[in-house]
Amino acid sequence: MQVDSSEMSGESGISWRNEAGMRRSLFLKMFGGVCLIIVILVALILFVSSRNIRSHYLDTLAQSLEKLGASLRSQVMLYLEQGRVEELDRWAKDLGREIDTRITLIDLEGIVLADSDEEPRTMVNHRYRPEITAAFEGRVGRSLRFSSTVKADMLYIGLPLETEVAAAHVLRLSLYVRNIDILLSDLSRIIWLLGLVMTVAALAAAYLITRSLTRPLNEIGRVSRQVAGGDFSAKLSLVRRDELGEVARSFNFMTERIQTLFDERNRQKEELDSIISSIDEGILALDKEGRILFSNESFQKLVGTEDPIDKYYWEIVRKQRFDDLIKRVQQEKKTLSLEIEFGTRVYLCNAVYLQNRKEVVVTFYDITQIKNIEIMKKDFVDSVSHELNTPLTAIKGFVETLEEEADEAQRGYLDIIKRNTDRLINIVQDLLALSELEEKTLELQREPVDIRRLLENILQIFKQPLQNKNLKLEFVADAGPAKVMGDPFKLEQLFVNLIDNAVKYTEEGKIKVEIRREDGVLVVDVEDSGIGIPEDQQKRIFERFYVIDKSRSKKVGGTGLGLSIVKHIAQSHEADIDVMSKPGKGTTFRITFPPYQQ
Ligand code: ADP
């Protein structure tokens, strides 16, 4: 499938580089962190264990010395009770050599009576050695210190000996710490070796675990880049039962879904493209600079260009009216339509402004046929009106001649003929006026027109009809200038029609004509207190031949064409016309002229 990868490049490239950096640091962080923890833990274990082992070993040795002392106690007591001190010394020397333990016996005075390693007579008083003092207090004394006698670190155990015949004595057993340290250093070498092996094994395990975590992440990163590049067939091949396996399954499901959505989107786009290119109406989309974003085949045929994309519309459509239409739509930000000729054909160009995208979409409807029919209709109405005008005027003239010679009964009939002829003449004249207006819309003779003066003159004509119906007239005009650019005859026709209607459809009350300026533009209100127009009919009254009440219209001599003429004139002057009305209360027609420009 085709995916526009340019949509995905750019910013995402930056994030890929970040991801690569992140990957490296993730491995280092994880592995480095675990290494540090392992080293600290092993060092801590080694330190604590070597210290504990030494004190535990010393404890154990002290206990065995105590037990040994307890077992020797009776033998020593025997020698003491029998006063065989010299024999005791010899016994101590023999036994000490045998069991590699120093045996010393001290009396209450602190005098050494026997010692396995030294001559007792040469030895200093031992009364205040810590283990001896403790033993004389009745406890088992223990001490680890440097012996000044044998010049080495020793572990001492002092055991109190109490007999009925002899005074209190202390049996002291001691061991060279040197031996213990040799033993312990062997042990700690083994422990350190074990620690080292443990560390290496833990580091290797940490390396493998970290790699097993970061490897899938690397793969996820690699496949993500493929997907971001538009290759939705890329899959993660991680087969694992853990969370990463779940991530891989979800990722693969996600790419499948995206693939399906893209396929669906492409299919819809193709469908839409083929529909748009096959419709008869030309379609053109422009960006806010006026560059062509899209166009269909019909438009390309219309302008005779095959590839207008990215060109400016004025390079393709060289029509002043089209240029004006697009500029107005962009300025006024609203939908506008205009009829434009392309060669022998006429198109209704409908330009829609897309508010949120600031783009313009133009549709080109071929209305040549409708236009031709309209021209035929108009020509027909024109010729019929022209043809009817002369005979009708003749009929009217002859009826008036006949009236002079007719009797009372005949005069009644002639009156009916005359009224209907008048109606027909009115219709014919209104039709001719409309047809003329349609023809000359673009060729108005514009000049500055003073609307106040124009209305003053018109109201003069209506003085009599107003008096006949006993209606009051109010004319309000503020002091400012009341000029518009326009055709004075057409504008007169417009206001005559509006005031004529106001008089025709008002039985009592007043007619008010007001000129004022609102936001710099000229507004004229023609207000009456007449029968009013129902809301649902207000839009339709500007249609040709549309009358609300046929019999009333006939009675007042209406043709149903007056307001069509009014609307035409207003439009040709770019003026807006609005109607506000309440049945039974009255009607106001409002004309709003465009700003005055000379
Ligand atoms: P008409 O020649 O019949 O007056 P118009 O085109 O001038 O035709 O008006 C169309 C219809 O609009 C009229 O038939 C009438 O019903 C209604 N209308 C026009 N002006 C007024 C008004 N001032 N008050 C009430 N109804 C009006």
243-260 confidence digits (pLDDT tens) = 888 888 999 999 999 999
Q: Which tokens in the block code for residue 139?
A: 């406890």
Name the residue of 426, 547, 585, 591 whose CB sits within 8 Å of the most ligand 1 atoms, as the mutation to test its pocket.
Answer: 547
Write down which residue in 228, 245, 262 finishes a domain.
228
Q: Which is more confidently placed, 196 or 6?
A: 196
Cβ 317 under 6 angstroms from ligand 1: no
Q: Which is more confidently placed, 593 or 28?
A: 593
In angstroms, rounded to a whole number, what is the distance separating the alpha carbons of residues 161 and 182? 32
CB 309 within 8 Å of CB 292: yes
Ligand 1 centroid distance, CA of 502 (Å): 8
Question: Model confidence over 261-320: pLDDT tens digits?
Answer: 999 999 999 998 888 888 889 999 999 999 999 999 899 999 988 889 999 999 999 999
Q: What's the mean pLDDT when you consider all of the chain?
A: 87
Write down which residue in 278, 309, 340 finishes a domain.
278
Q: Are residues 582 and 478 located together in one domain of the fold? A: yes
Question: Model confidence over 15-54: pLDDT tens digits?
Answer: 444 445 555 567 888 888 888 998 899 889 888 887 788 7
Q: Are residues 329 and 423 located together in one domain of the fold? A: no
Cβ 586 under 6 angstroms from ligand 1: no
Q: What is the pLDDT of residue 10?
A: 38
* Structural domain count, the chain: 5
Q: Which is more confidently placed, 512 or 385?
A: 512
Question: Model confidence over 154-199: pLDDT tens digits?
Answer: 889 999 887 554 458 899 999 887 777 787 788 878 888 988 998 8
| Burial (CB count within 10 angstroms: exposed 0-12, middle 13-18, buried 19+), residue 128 | exposed
Q: Are residues 127 and 51 located together in one domain of the fold? A: yes
Name the residue of 510, 563, 569, 590 whose CB sits within 8 Å of the most ligand 1 atoms, as the mutation to test its pocket.
Answer: 563
Q: What single-letter amino acid sits at 171?
A: L
Cβ 513 under 6 angstroms from ligand 1: no
Cβ 558 under 6 angstroms from ligand 1: yes
In angstroms, rounded to a whole number, what is the distance separating the alpha carbons of residues 460 and 516? 20
Ligand 1 centroid distance, CA of 516 (Å): 24
- 315-337 burial, b for 16+ CB within 10 Å, e for fewer? ebbebeebeebbeebbeeeeebe
pLDDT > 80? residue 59: yes
SS3 15: helix
Residue 546 CA: nearest ligand 1 atom is 10
Q: Are residues 431 and 452 located together in one domain of the fold? A: no
Q: Are residues 515 and 378 located together in one domain of the fold? A: no
Cβ 547 under 6 angstroms from ligand 1: yes
User: CATH code at 95?
Assistant: 3.30.450.20
Q: What value does the mean pLDDT take over residues 415-427?
A: 89
Nearest CA residue ID for atom 8, ligand 1: 560
In angstroms, rounded to a whole number, what is the distance separating the alpha carbons of residues 499 and 513? 9
pLDDT > 50? residue 14: no
- Asked if the structure places residue 9 within a domain, the reply is yes
Q: Are residues 122 and 221 located together in one domain of the fold? A: yes
pLDDT > 80? residue 534: yes
Q: What is the pLDDT of residue 291?
A: 95
Q: What value does the mean pLDDT take over residues 114-142?
A: 88
Q: Are residues 207 and 323 located together in one domain of the fold? A: no
pLDDT > 50? residue 501: yes
- Asked if the structure places residue 265 within a domain, the reply is yes
Q: Are residues 340 and 422 located together in one domain of the fold? A: no
Q: What is the pLDDT of residue 4?
A: 43
Cβ 562 under 6 angstroms from ligand 1: yes
Q: Which is more confidently placed, 12 or 555?
A: 555
Q: Report the relative pairing of strands 282-286 and 102-107 from DSSP bridges.
A: unpaired
CB 325 within 8 Å of CB 349: yes
Q: Are residues 203 and 112 located together in one domain of the fold? A: yes
- Asked if the structure places residue 417 within a domain, the reply is yes
Residue 526 CA: nearest ligand 1 atom is 23
Confidence of residue 55 (pLDDT cuts 50, 70, 90): confident
Least confident of 325-334, 361-370, 377-386: 377-386
Q: Are residues 77 and 174 located together in one domain of the fold? A: yes
Confidence of residue 3 (pLDDT cuts 50, 70, 90): very low
- Asked if the structure places residue 475 within a domain, the reply is yes
CA end-to-end span of the chain, whole Å?
A: 62
The DSSP-derived string for 126-168 is -TTSHHHHHHHTTS-EEEEEEETTTTEEEEEEEEEE--SSSPP
In angstroms, rounded to a whole number, what is the distance separating the alpha carbons of residues 37 and 199? 10
Q: Are residues 475 and 334 located together in one domain of the fold? A: no
Q: What is the pLDDT of residue 57?
A: 82
Q: Are residues 130 and 20 located together in one domain of the fold? A: yes
Q: Determine which helix (DSSP H) or strand (DSSP E) holds 592, and give its type and residue range.
A: strand 586-592
pLDDT > 90? residue 577: yes
Ligand 1 centroid distance, CA of 422 (Å): 18
The residue whose two tokens read 């021209």 is 375
Range of the domain at 26: 1-228
pLDDT > 90? residue 139: no
Q: What is the pLDDT of residue 453?
A: 93
Cβ 502 under 6 angstroms from ligand 1: yes
Q: What is the pLDDT of residue 281?
A: 92
The residue whose two tokens read 């057993």 is 173
User: CATH code at 396?
Assistant: 1.10.287
- Asked if the structure places residue 598 within a domain, the reply is no
Nearest CA residue ID for atom 19, ligand 1: 501
Least confident of 88-92, 218-222, 286-290, 336-340: 218-222
